[in-house]
A and B are shown apart, each in its own frame.
Chain A
Amino acid sequence: NAGVTQTPKFQVLKTGQSMTLQCAQDMNHEYMSWYRQDPGMGLRLIHYSVGAGITDQGEVPNGYNVSRSTTEDFPLRLLSAAPSQTSVYFCASSYNGHGNQPQHFGDGTRLSIL
């Protein structure tokens, strides 16, 4: 059972470039989410999805797009990378989004924007 798989683990981009962070889970979880983790701050929600075809914005959605065409996959797209998006990104999933189920996290993607 792989759990939540994120790729890549590390990435360096130049300002203005676009890229997609991949996230896949094999637990048939309805709820998937993307967070960013910055020094001195708690994890902040970027976007989330409560099921295939349904996505919504979190606390810090600007500059990011998501889609959920299948239950398993929830990619995060940076449209035009900016230095402020340098961060560690975590994808997470849970059985539902009610908060009464444990969250399973990927190993994170360390992203640097030059």
Chain B
Amino acid sequence: KNEVEQSPQNLTAQEGEFITINCSYSVGISALHWLQQHPGGGIVSLFMLSSGKKKHGRLIATINIQEKHSSLHITASHPRDSAVYICAVNSNSNTGNQFYFGTGTSLTVIP
């Protein structure tokens, strides 16, 4: 059973396109994180959110706590956005405080 599900698994877009990556989760959470992993492997934190919407440059993250769903949007996509995007949740369940990770969405933006 996967506590965090992402879709799509793979995504190819033309430069300039609007991109949406979806994340659904099944556990109670204290926060949801979006991470970016570039070829070469380093992981950086893009957003952390527990409600509403956050924006950073061309990236927008939203969360609907009632529906247990989050989306990551990229406006005016660029080849440098090519990376794996990972959704992670911090669960506040009875088993304690733990992070669960999705398997990632591999994004390729073609010039």
Contact = CB atoms under 8 A, between A and B. Distances in A.
Interface of A: 33, 35, 40-45, 56, 58-59, 88, 90, 92, 97-105, 107-108, 110
Nearest to B44: A105
Q: How big is the B interface, by class?
A: 20 to 34
B90 A45 contact: no
A100 B101 contact: no
Contacts, number: 66
Interface of chain B, helix or strand or loop or mixed?
Answer: strand
B33 A102 contact: yes
Given A45-B99, A103-B35, A103-B88, 4 more contacts: A40-B103, A97-B97, A102-B33, A108-B42
Contact of A45 (B45, B50, B86, B98): B98
Contacts of B89: 99
A82 B58 CA distance: 44
A35 B91 CA distance: 16
A97 B30 CA distance: 11
A60 B2 CA distance: 15
